[in-house]
Structure 1
Amino acid sequence: MILHANARWPDVKPCLSVLVPFLGDDPSPLLQALEAEKGDHTNRVEIIILDDGTNDPSLTRKLQDLVDTSHHAICLLSSPNNLGRSKGRNLLAAQARGSNLLFIDADMLPDHPDFLRFWLAHIDTQSPAASFGGFSVIQASSAPEYAVHRSMALRSDCLPASIRSQHPEKHVFTSNLLIRRDVFLKNSFDEDFQGWGWEDVEWAMRVTNAHTITHIDNTATHLGLDTVPALMSKYRQSAANFARIAHLHPEYVARYPSYRIAKILRVLNLATLVRMTAKPVAAASFLPASIRGIALRFYRAALYAKALGT
């Protein structure tokens, strides 16, 4: 593991550690947005970036230059091998020095210029065990190939804190998640989850039994919207993880529409038919994004139905 830190790094005693893993994505826009936030409060912040196996020398040099010139205390970790979503985030937490950990994905961008100041104020006034700031697609691409993902995100993910708080464990993503250090030391991410999806929600299900997970409106935009084929690929990766979380936390998962539909499809032996029917509908660019999004949800439920039966 290679560490590249700047001159500010040794002098800062952080309250907040901003932890940014990436694989393939360029975190430069996020770092530049955080760089634009000036003030004495930034003396309480450190930023740690983890290159989780990208192995792109030109990107590494670019990030090292950003690290060297930043007014934040910042360092870059580089792993030659892909550790995975859970293990990579656990490594970042182990390297962090702050009493609070803010996990934010490399393809996120704060929606207002006082993003870090807002988080620090929330820490000072509430000292939350865990808190999710929410995310949006405000600054994301409006290109037609991302219309379905945008439509789905607006419907189910880009929700105000008042709505998210009704099911606090369900609406937790590592895209903009604050965790108090002492809570994380007892509740790290489960490294048995492989590939994409559900490890953050599973973490929240464990933590909510002992701690309150709060939701606030301090959003960041998810810039990395996916095409329909990319979403299908992620759903295929997530099926085994969904089956694992259903086994570990049946009392929570039983409330989810995706689980209820998957169970019906499995009982009626319709999973293969639904998957084969939903796939071309979701891929049909001439259909409205809302219809294609519904088809994608059924495609995902059909994958989950099969995974639940294994």
Structure 2
Amino acid sequence: MLSILIPIYNYNAYPLVLELHKQCIDCGIDFEIIAIDDASTQHNSENNSVQFLTNCSFVELLENIGRSKIRNLLASKANYDWLLYLDCDTFPKNSDFISNYIKHINLSTKKVFFGGIVYTKEKPANNQLLRWIFGQKREAIAVSERKKNPYKNTFVSNILIKKTLFDIFPFDEKITKYGYEDFAFIQTLKQENIEIEHIENPIFHLNLETSALFLSKTKTALETLLFISKTNSKIEFESKIIKTHKMLCDLKINLLISKLFQKQQLRLEHHLTSEKPTLLAFDCYKIGYFCYLNSK
């Protein structure tokens, strides 16, 4: 019936596994929960307790293999027909999270489902505001809005997919650095005309990194996007950043934007790590950095 797959990195996933385990038991379904730690730099001993729960396993890798490979590795170990991918720093909003997915499996002919993401309303510490604001505005999207643009508004942090389909279209293991591996995966589904059914079955995103760390990861993700754009032509027509960069190139102002970014980078970073970061400034930062990467 259901294989729940959880990649772990520097986080205590045991409370998540415990809740999912309870819900699966209550549903009376055949299930397994597979958690793999991708060589975390901050060991959390509680994750070892996962393996002592029935139908659960936990493995620690000795070497970090990256976000694409670990998801493919998890799928290769799965024994059931449906794969439910959950990020380790999430938690079901509702106690009927698993039963809700099972209901949709039984009622629909679709092979991919996305349940949505939400964030707590409680404002985090000032040094974590950028990630929280970004999540609230760009990820926590109502199901009615998600359905209008189903591929753009799907994230692999809470996705249910038929194993036979995933085996045909796994994650691209050429993407080894952080970022956009989920984007590439979703775009592959779009290119293959595989529908994604959006439902109301959200998880909380719990782990809010500092604004400085989020900026650093964003830069790495944009470097990954540049790599994808040079190796996968399908992405060029779907990525907003790549399309914006192409427009700036057509206007012959991409090098100007790159130079402006270099001059204003520290000021932008100061603003984005402040108590009042704005998404407009964040968007400017991203396109500026991407122009800079392309000018090197």
- In structure 1, how many angstroms separate the alpha carbons of the residues matched to 2:126 and 2:168? 44
Amino acid at match of 2:246: K
- In structure 1, how many angstroms separate the alpha carbons of the residues matched to 2:266 and 2:129? 16
Amino acid at match of 1:27: A
**Contact 1:110 / 1:220 at 8 angstroms: preserved in 2?**
yes
SS of alignment partner, residue 169 of structure 1: coil
Consecutive unaligned residues of structure 2, counting only runs of 5 or more, are: none
SS of alignment partner, residue 167 of structure 1: coil
Out of 27, 52, 63, the residue aligned to residue 41 of structure 1 is: 27
Out of 98, 106, 111, the residue aligned to residue 116 of structure 1 is: 98
Match of 1:226 in 2: 209
Cα–Cα, structure 1 residues 303 and 226, in superposed 2: closer, same or farther, change >3 Å?
same
Taking the TM superposition and a 5 Å limit, the aligned residue runs for 1:78-157 are 78-138=60-120, 142-157=124-139
| Deviation for aligned residue 1:29 | 2.5
Moved more, 32-41 or 205-214: 32-41
- In structure 2, how many angstroms separate the alpha carbons of the residues matched to 1:298 and 1:242? 16
Match of 1:288 in 2: 276
- In structure 2, how many angstroms separate the alpha carbons of the residues matched to 1:229 and 1:41? 42
**Contact 2:91 / 2:203 at 8 angstroms: preserved in 1?**
yes
Taking the TM superposition and a 5 Å limit, the aligned residue runs for 1:163-182 are 163-182=145-164
Moved more, 37-46 or 223-232: 37-46
- In structure 2, how many angstroms separate the alpha carbons of the residues matched to 1:42 and 1:77? 25
- In structure 2, how many angstroms separate the alpha carbons of the residues matched to 1:173 and 1:195? 18
Match of 2:167 in 1: 185
- In structure 2, how many angstroms separate the alpha carbons of the residues matched to 1:24 and 1:141? 23
Match of 1:204 in 2: 186
Out of 255, 259, 281, the residue aligned to residue 242 of structure 2 is: 259
After superposition, the C-alpha distances for 1:54-108 in whole angstroms (9 at most, x for unaligned) are 2666x34x3233431x3x4111122111111000000000000110101111001
Aligned residues: 290
- In structure 2, how many angstroms separate the alpha carbons of the residues matched to 1:82 and 1:221? 26
Out of 9, 23, 26, the residue aligned to residue 12 of structure 2 is: 26
SS of alignment partner, residue 302 of structure 1: helix
Cα–Cα, structure 1 residues 247 and 212, in superposed 2: closer, same or farther, change >3 Å?
farther
- In structure 2, how many angstroms separate the alpha carbons of the residues matched to 1:232 and 1:301? 13
**Contact 1:19 / 1:92 at 8 angstroms: preserved in 2?**
yes
SS of alignment partner, residue 37 of structure 1: helix
**Contact 1:108 / 1:222 at 8 angstroms: preserved in 2?**
yes
**Contact 2:116 / 2:141 at 8 angstroms: preserved in 1?**
yes
SS of alignment partner, residue 194 of structure 2: coil
SS of alignment partner, residue 75 of structure 1: strand
| Deviation for aligned residue 1:256 | 4.5
Moved more, 136-145 or 148-157: 136-145
After superposition, the C-alpha distances for 1:175-207 in whole angstroms (9 at most, x for unaligned) are 101110110010000001122111111111112
SS of alignment partner, residue 145 of structure 2: helix
**Contact 2:12 / 2:88 at 8 angstroms: preserved in 1?**
yes
| Deviation for aligned residue 1:227 | 1.9
Consecutive unaligned residues of structure 1, counting only runs of 5 or more, are: 1-14
Out of 64, 73, 91, the residue aligned to residue 48 of structure 2 is: 64
Amino acid at match of 2:216: S
What percentage of aligned pairs have identical amino acids? 24
Match of 2:141 in 1: 159
**Contact 2:6 / 2:35 at 8 angstroms: preserved in 1?**
yes
Cα–Cα, structure 1 residues 215 and 249, in superposed 2: closer, same or farther, change >3 Å?
farther
**Contact 1:282 / 1:295 at 8 angstroms: preserved in 2?**
no
Match of 1:303 in 2: 289
**Contact 1:228 / 1:282 at 8 angstroms: preserved in 2?**
no
**Contact 1:140 / 1:221 at 8 angstroms: preserved in 2?**
no
Match of 1:242 in 2: 225
The alignment status of 1:274 with 2:261, answered yes or no, reads yes
RMSD: 2.5
SS of alignment partner, residue 179 of structure 1: strand
- In structure 1, how many angstroms separate the alpha carbons of the residues matched to 2:24 and 2:265? 49
